[in-house]
Amino acid sequence: MDWLSYSLHSNKLRFSFFLTRMEDWHTKPLEYVGDTITQYIDARRYLTIKRLDFSPCAWLNFGLSEATVFGGEDYVLQLYHFNPVVFVQAYQYNWDDDVNFFLGFDTKIFLNNCAFYCALLIDDFQLEHDSNEEPHHWGVNIGAEIADIAGIRNSFWALEYTAVSRYTYCHFVPYQRYQYRGTSIGSPYGPDYDEIFTRFTYHVMKTIDLFAQISYLRKGEGHVSTLWTIPEYPREPGTHFPQGNILSGIVQRSIDSGIGARYFFQDRMAAELYVGFLNIDNTANISGAREKSMVIKLQIDVFSL
């Protein structure tokens, strides 16, 4: 992506801002199960992220962020969109201009050789009973990192759990989905999954890391491009969201384990080689389908030019 970003900071506060133009879509203005819409529009699409970090002391950080996918036919940016302080949600309510926004809350705690972190993503939260039984749309992430574990010098262990509900990243306005060129934005697996991941890393020397990792992923049938379940604008009485807000339908289960090495080229580049084994049950959410394969990955990261 090409983007505009800037930040303002003091000793304890930091405001961060990010804005990018995404690809245009030729699409329906609304899209849901059973729609009979024949109208199509050429929608301009944008993604903006605003974030506030507060660090009252060296070992503690609180974060508040808002991410928004918005746009429409012949959409024109305004100065309001470049304000790092005011939430785009306020724009939606005051000008009746629909957007798909997220709120994120996260915390990091650093204690000696340990770090703990957690995050809550709120896509939509039903403050009152919903007559169409729309569930909460959310994501959670919690993890821990420990250095020199079990007295092993230069070692590093990480453990993390992530879960995302069924309709997070989705939307009844197609061009407001968290998707860019067919790829989910925010989570590589999109919605409707949970995963537990752990990695053990040993720092052989300043330029070389060796590591071993394993992950267990459960993925439901929900995807970022899944059609909205019920009509919107207006909603129809008697239509309901289906049961099961996470891990819906036939659940794909995957175990990915392997070893690798990472080499750092000074402070500018790194190359990583990973060799692993992937075992999938109910592949592509098809009952009984199984897949086993070797995984070989070579990745090169550029930190600065």
Radius of gyration, alpha carbons of the chain: 22
Decide if pLDDT at 305 tops 60. Answer: no
Confidence of residue 91 (pLDDT cuts 50, 70, 90): low
Tokens matching residue 133:
């039984």
Note the pTM of the prediction, 2 decimals: 0.89
Distance (Å) of CA 9 to CA 17, 54, 62, 64, 117: 12, 10, 14, 15, 22
Confidence of residue 80 (pLDDT cuts 50, 70, 90): confident
Decide if pLDDT at 232 tops 90. Answer: no
Mean pLDDT within 267-290: 94
Pairing assessment for the beta strands 179-180 and 290-302 based on DSSP bridges: unpaired
Confidence of residue 97 (pLDDT cuts 50, 70, 90): low
Instruction: Find out whether the peptide bond into 234 is cis, omega within 30 degrees of 0.
Output: yes
Mean pLDDT within 211-230: 95
- In sequence order, which residues have a C-beta less than 8 Å from that of residue 213 and are 6 or more positions away? 197, 198, 199, 200, 257, 258, 259, 260, 276
Confidence of residue 128 (pLDDT cuts 50, 70, 90): confident
Q: What is the Cα–Cα distance from 16 to 24, expressed in whole angstroms?
A: 26
Confidence of residue 195 (pLDDT cuts 50, 70, 90): very high
- Summarised one tens digit per residue, pLDDT across range 161-191 is 999 999 999 999 999 999 999 889 888 899 9
Q: What is the Cα–Cα distance from 275 to 293, expressed in whole angstroms?
A: 11
Tokens matching residue 87:
């939430």
Q: How many CB atoms neighbour CB 239 within 10 A?
A: 15
Domain boundaries, the chain: 3-249, 252-305
DSSP string for 109-141: EEETTEEEEEEEEEEE--SS--TT-PPPEEEEE
Decide if pLDDT at 215 tops 80. Answer: yes
* pLDDT confidence of residue 137: 94
* pLDDT confidence of residue 93: 65
Confidence of residue 219 (pLDDT cuts 50, 70, 90): very high
Q: What's the full length of the chain, in residues? A: 305
Decide if pLDDT at 54 tops 90. Answer: yes
